[in-house]
Amino acid sequence: MKTNTLDIRQMDCMELMAQYPDNHFDLAVVDPPYGIGMGGNAQIKSLKSRPNWAGCKYAKKEWDNAAPTSEYFKELTRVSRNQIIWGGNYFTNYLPPTKSWCYWDKKMSHNKNFSHGELAWASFGGILRQFSRSATGDSDRKIHPTQKPVKLYDWIFANYAEKGMKILDTHLGSGSSAIASHYAGMHLTACELDEDYYKAACERIHRETSQQTFL
């Protein structure tokens, strides 16, 4: 899938990054597997048929059974000048200390069975910043077990990027980053290995950015 600002491919992220020289991307905003088994909980016929509500069941997959290796982080920091890495608290063996964490407050303090938020490691200097919004804040259907709101990526681009920057997303998932990138005026290169997620994400991106002329 390609537009004048989006280049989205179904492929392995290591193969994608190998195509680019050092510091090619201004910013990588990535949400790699945390290795905590969030790959889904039931067999279903169509990911895109599920409504956007808590308790939605997803096709059982194994993508979150293991976290990325050190080679992934080495390649990510090679091809991008700066990085925002969701789940950074799971990858402290591979990432240097930082003061510039991002915290997503999911507004779930009432729920004792789920994490109240998520942390992202950021390469920028500066203070920790917080974004507050429900995990089910998007009006669109939820097509991925760990789908993040478009508004979260809107916030990231508003605070950490500038219009026209080259952005990398190595794990596209539901496509939220692509929708936000489109409206922020970024040039996004992204990939998703899983065919089901890739197709569902492309349909969602097309639907949400329908005024864009696709090539």
**Is residue 188 pLDDT above 70, yes or no?**
yes
Q: Does residue 177 sit within a domain?
A: yes
Q: Does residue 42 sit within a domain?
A: no
pLDDT in tens, 87-127: 999 999 999 999 999 999 998 777 676 788 999 999 998 89
Return all residues near 162 (Cβ < 8 A) that are at least 6 apart. Answer: none
Q: Does residue 54 sit within a domain?
A: no
Phi, psi of 126 (to 5 degrees): 130, -170
Q: Does residue 90 sit within a domain?
A: yes
17-to-62, 120, 128, 197 alpha-carbon distances in Å: 22, 21, 28, 20
The number of distinct structural domains making up the chain is 1
Range of the domain at 104: 6-36+64-208
Higher pLDDT, residue 170 or 60: 170
Q: Does residue 55 sit within a domain?
A: no
Confidence (pTM): 0.85
Q: Does residue 43 sit within a domain?
A: no
Q: Does residue 50 sit within a domain?
A: no
CATH code, domain with 72: 3.40.50.150
